[in-house]
Chains A and B, each alone.
Chain A
Amino acid sequence: MSNEVGKPYPRADGRAKVTGQARYSYEWPVAGIAYGVLVTSGVARGRITAIDARAAEREPGVIAVLSPSTAMKLPGDVSPADGGDRVVQALQDDRVLYSNQPVAVAIADTFERALHAAGLVRVRVEPAPFTVRIEDELHAAFPYDARGQPADHQRGDVEAALRRAEHKLEAEYETPPEIHSPLEPHATLAVWNGDRLTVYDATQGIFGVRKKLARAFAVPPGNVRVITKFVGGGFGCKGSAWSHVLIAALAAKQLGRPVKIALTRPQMFGMVGGRPLTRQKISAAATSEGKLTALRHESTSTTSRFDDFLEPAALVSRHQYKCDNLETKQRLVRLDIGTPTYMRAPGESSGSFALESAIDELAHELGIDPIDFRLNNYAEVDPAEGKPFSSKSLRRCYELGAERFGWQKRTRRPELVARAGKLVGTGMATASYPANFTRASALARMNPDGTVLVQSGAVDIGGGTYTVMAQVAAETLGVPYESVKFDLGDTEMPEAPRSGGSITAASVASAVEAACRALREKLSALRAPPDAPVEARGEAAPSEERKKYALHSFGAQFAEVEVDPELGMVRVTRMVGAFAGGRILNARLARSQFIGGMVWGIGMALHEHAVYDEKLGRIMTRDLADYHVPAHKDVVAIDPIFIAVEKDEIVDPVGVKGIGEIGITGAAAAIANAVFNATGKRIRSLPITPDKLL
């Protein structure tokens, strides 16, 4: 067997991307295309009473304006197809449920004409009372299960332990609403041919889109083909089909010509998900020696009125530290907003901010070094259920990270260290993320000339799927990497899960490995070299064994910040992340994923905040100038290191844990802890902007 897995091959699709040849959904050349631009509501809640499209329809080149009164009624079922699918608004009724909701679409023969026409459509809404303030609805907060785990969970007696405590901490933390903001706006291009539909969609999950469209249009799934060869970032917001997907397909069917719709940047704030606001409370107790005796993590997050989605921030506390008295609570509050969705490390990123800040506060109060405190409470088995970890190398991560970072043991009050007029501080935190795995399938084909084609209907959202799967295939087949091509992104290929939840590498690699093993067996049974292609399929699914273990990736995050003492500006001057993510398929691409996650940590800590105008019920930070994501100058030295092979034979057949999300977990806390170290100010509400440090 060749050792292709792990090798740092450059990205297989790199050339296509750097030459501009890679085609994203809006860019597929289709004859007869018509352009659609959505019209959205400026009112947060109510009923559409009238839509005046006359001015729009009079404009040159305008083909139609579709609204709830003129759009075709979808013949099928538009309700969510499964737990990962969302309720959308596809011009089927006159309800307005949140500000910036799509209420009509203008179709024209050029983009400029469609855009202008959309602006001419007058929508009259009879407004209804609404609120976007969590305070107004806290009384109606309800428990909500997440990830198959109950909303409330307790071990031992937290209340009693808190009463007995030698040292206690009770603190509230808040993470703001955030918006994924991938560079590529959501886009769907729909082409009907009779009752067969082809859709080029900017999605992370082509089979989910297929299912939703087939259901909505009451056609067999085999009639719908979804193609996504390249997508410009997802991070969770392209994990389910939103309103525009159905609207594009609907318009194409009704008008009898292909239609493509891309959201404008402002339209990406509200109708395609985001991370919801979380209000969290940590109550913790420890002995003077630094042993946790109680830990309670409560979290409340917000969702829409019409679809429940929970940001499971409290879950992280079930797995992170040894504690005999452990309690977590998850609550949900409904507001008149668009439904949130999975956003890079949902739960662990927001929850780790609270937990890892709280741990830091406790350690500081006790005069114990933050790493030592965490080691004192190291969980050898999963704290919540007592299950063993399938693999855990967190100690090594703390060690490697501390050494690489040059961590100075800290036992005293923060020293105000200055460097060229700026205060300098350091902080650290634990990173963790579940190692998910779900059913996937793949196909492997050996051609007579010795080249190999492997296919699976996954999507490469930037993690390098095109590359690493070819490596897995090459290694399993014992052939050179150069002879293997991996193709993806078409529902005509074997089914794979949506790319997200750090699930692709584990699931698809396992399926690829299975398919290649099956192909190898077929080939070895042949007497002579084949003169026709030989094909085999493979499937992978989670084993029963997995249920007996706790399955997570772990890591240690370190950050250094410089703070301007008078003006309050914070700059992260360096970060080190030491991660153990099972078997690393490609060192070069893995490094990029870790960096990406850590950069998201900077954004989460310092920049990102989707602000609602409470009177209007509307997000006012509605473009990239008002909603800040890190720019180049914000990102200095990001240095991830990782254990190349953390052996784990339980997590999945290839031992991969998925690394797309762990990079953000703990990062915001490490930065916030560094800010405390620099300034003596503890900021418990993100983002840490200059005004909070004045």
Chain B
Amino acid sequence: MRLFTFQRAASLEQAVSAPPQAAFLAGGTNLVDLMKIEVLNPALVVDLSRLQLRQIEVRDGALQIGALASNTAVAEHPEVRGRAPGLSEALLSGASPQLRNAATVGGNLLQRTRCAYYRDLATRCNKREPGSGCDALEGWTRMHAILGTSDQCIASHPSDMCVALYALDATVRVRGPDGERELAVSDLHLLPGAHPEREFSLPPGELITAVRVPLGDLSARSRYVKVRDRQSYAFALTSCAAAVQMEGGVIRSARFALGGVGTKPWRVPEAERSLQGERATRETFARAAEIALQGAKPRRDNAFKVELAKRTAVRALMLSAGAPP
């Protein structure tokens, strides 16, 4: 780790007025990890951990979650478990209890990819060093993305929580020097395109302060399914957060987002719309999954993800549809 200056932010205002090159530190499970292997090397680290941003409450029909609430606290909160179980399941399927105790919601939203090439300074990576090349393209791609990729980057998004937040139409509140704004969580993460080094739509100095998850029938039926190489403590090969609302024996509305397969969590509105008015059967869901996987560009080691992602989506949708009202 390079030497850096460490500052504790005593207030949100102080944090927000930090210089643009400052890195914000919350739980440290992602930032400290990447600083140790010198993938990220901020000269200034601003510690947010003393800020009062840990609230988890229900207000105006939505979950209001402070950016510094720990993954554990959110996953186990009765309102989350009861009214957005898919979010709880997603959180509990990620990492380990130790990591979840330290990791925050804000940090989870902004976590970096797990790509083994990104994390290896001896290989070429366009995200680390723009224009240097990508050794993953011709390399070991089992854990990489098949959707949202470019010829510059195929790194998959590693978060489970984000997949659930996408499916639940969550929004993110952000504060910057110019004040506060709210954006859809799906607008937070950028596709790699020609600039994989640009990962977030937040300009420097903007801080996530809270996440808002609308609650209702859909969120109450949400579920999360994760497929991985080990029973626990492993990143997803594929995953899916799904929420299906039934009425009169047919689907009234549905949401589903895919994990493990995209450079960001993957949600295709057309696939969701195709489910409206249909019966909740494997075939229906398989057709929707097919739509969601359109445009997939598999590589040598991850071609299986196309089929596996479809099946994962079907499983999550079936679980959600069968969930009690």
Question: Quick check: A626 and B143 within 8 Å, CB to CB?
Answer: yes
B194 at the interface (CB under 8 A from A): no
A622 at the interface (CB under 8 A from B): yes
B114 at the interface (CB under 8 A from A): yes
Return chain B residues, CB-CB under 8 Å to A42: 120-123
Question: Quick check: B123 and A569 within 8 Å, CB to CB?
Answer: no
Contact among A41, A112, A628, A694 for B230, CB-based, below 8 A: A628
Contact among A43, A116, A634, A694 for B2, CB-based, below 8 A: A116
Question: Quick check: B116 and A616 within 8 Å, CB to CB?
Answer: no
Return chain B residues, CB-CB under 8 Å to A690: 227, 229, 237, 304, 308
Q: Tally A-B pairs: CB < 8 A.
A: 95
Question: Quick check: B308 and A568 within 8 Å, CB to CB?
Answer: yes
Nearest-CB residue, chain B, relative to A624: B233
B181 at the interface (CB under 8 A from A): no
Rounded to whole angstroms, the CA-CA distance of A687 and B142 in the bound complex is 14
Question: Quick check: B304 and A694 within 8 Å, CB to CB?
Answer: yes
CB under 8 Å from chain B, chain A span 65-114: 99, 112
Q: How far is the CB of B314 from chain A (nearest CB, A)?
A: 7
Rounded to whole angstroms, the CA-CA distance of A266 and B311 in the bound complex is 34
Return chain A residues, CB-CB under 8 Å to B314: 566
Question: Quick check: B122 and A618 within 8 Å, CB to CB?
Answer: yes
Question: Quick check: A613 and B121 within 8 Å, CB to CB?
Answer: no
A119-B121, A618-B122 given; A613·B140 CB < 8 A: yes
Rounded to whole angstroms, the CA-CA distance of A140 and B189 in the bound complex is 50
A115-B1, A567-B315, A694-B304 given; A620·B117 CB < 8 A: yes
Among B135, B140, B228: residue with most chain A CB under 10 A: B140
Q: How far is the CB of B320 from chain A (nearest CB, A)?
A: 16
Rounded to whole angstroms, the CA-CA distance of A689 and B308 in the bound complex is 12
A618-B122, A620-B120, A694-B304 given; A611·B232 CB < 8 A: no
Question: Quick check: A112 and B1 within 8 Å, CB to CB?
Answer: yes
Question: Quick check: A634 and B1 within 8 Å, CB to CB?
Answer: no
Nearest-CB residue, chain A, relative to B38: A119
Question: Quick check: B229 and A625 within 8 Å, CB to CB?
Answer: no
Contact among A119, A616, A694 for B139, CB-based, below 8 A: A616
Could you mark each residue 130-149 of chain B with 1 if its beta carbon is under 8 Å from any beta carbon of chain A, else 0?
A: 00000100111011000000
Contact among B135, B229, B315 for A607, CB-based, below 8 A: B229
Question: Quick check: B135 and A566 within 8 Å, CB to CB?
Answer: no
Could you mark each residue 1-45 of chain B with 1 if its beta carbon is under 8 Å from any beta carbon of chain A, else 0?
A: 111000000000000000000000000000000001010000000
Return chain A residues, CB-CB under 8 Å to B186: none
Question: Quick check: B135 and A689 within 8 Å, CB to CB?
Answer: no
Could you mark each residue 282-308 of chain B with 1 if its beta carbon is under 8 Å from any beta carbon of chain A, else 0?
A: 000000000000000000000010011
A685 at the interface (CB under 8 A from B): no
Question: Quick check: A628 and B227 within 8 Å, CB to CB?
Answer: no
Q: How far is the CB of A658 from chain B (nearest CB, A)?
A: 30
Chain B contact residue count (CB 8 A cutoff): 36
Return chain B residues, CB-CB under 8 Å to A41: 122
Question: Quick check: B231 and A633 within 8 Å, CB to CB?
Answer: yes
A691 at the interface (CB under 8 A from B): yes
Contact among B116, B230, B312 for A634, CB-based, below 8 A: B230
Return chain B residues, CB-CB under 8 Å to A393: none
Return chain B residues, CB-CB under 8 Å to A613: 135, 139-140
Rounded to whole angstroms, the CA-CA distance of A687 and B230 in the bound complex is 11
A631 at the interface (CB under 8 A from B): yes
Contact among A116, A625, A633, A689 for B232, CB-based, below 8 A: A633
Q: How far is the CB of A693 from chain B (nearest CB, A)?
A: 10
Rounded to whole angstroms, the CA-CA distance of A691 and B135 in the bound complex is 23
B235 at the interface (CB under 8 A from A): yes
Question: Quick check: A615 and B308 within 8 Å, CB to CB?
Answer: no
Question: Quick check: A615 and B230 within 8 Å, CB to CB?
Answer: no
Among B36, B232, B234, B235: residue with most chain A CB under 10 A: B234
Nearest-CB residue, chain B, relative to A115: B1
Return chain A residues, CB-CB under 8 Å to B117: 620
Nearest-CB residue, chain A, relative to B307: A694
Return chain B residues, CB-CB under 8 Å to A319: none
A632 at the interface (CB under 8 A from B): yes
Return chain B residues, CB-CB under 8 Å to A630: 230
Rounded to whole angstroms, the CA-CA distance of A626 and B141 in the bound complex is 12
Question: Quick check: B227 and A567 within 8 Å, CB to CB?
Answer: yes
A331 at the interface (CB under 8 A from B): no
A657 at the interface (CB under 8 A from B): no
Return chain A residues, CB-CB under 8 Å to B227: 567-569, 690
Q: How far is the CB of B227 from chain A (nearest CB, A)?
A: 5
A116-B1, A567-B308 given; A607·B120 CB < 8 A: no
Nearest-CB residue, chain A, relative to B318: A566
Question: Quick check: B234 and A625 within 8 Å, CB to CB?
Answer: yes
Question: Quick check: B120 and A622 within 8 Å, CB to CB?
Answer: yes
CB under 8 Å from chain B, chain A span 566-581: 566-569, 571
Question: Quick check: A628 and B234 within 8 Å, CB to CB?
Answer: yes
Task: Name 24 interchain pairs, CB-CB below 8 A, sorted by A.
Answer: A41-B122, A119-B38, A567-B225, A567-B308, A568-B308, A612-B140, A615-B135, A618-B122, A620-B117, A620-B139, A621-B116, A621-B140, A625-B114, A626-B116, A626-B143, A631-B230, A632-B232, A633-B233, A687-B229, A691-B237, A691-B308, A694-B304, A694-B308, A694-B311
Query: In the complex, given contacts A115-B36, A633-B230, what are 11 additional A-B residue pairs having Cβ atoms less than 8 angstroms apart?
Result: A115-B1, A116-B38, A119-B121, A613-B139, A615-B135, A615-B139, A618-B120, A618-B122, A620-B117, A694-B308, A694-B311
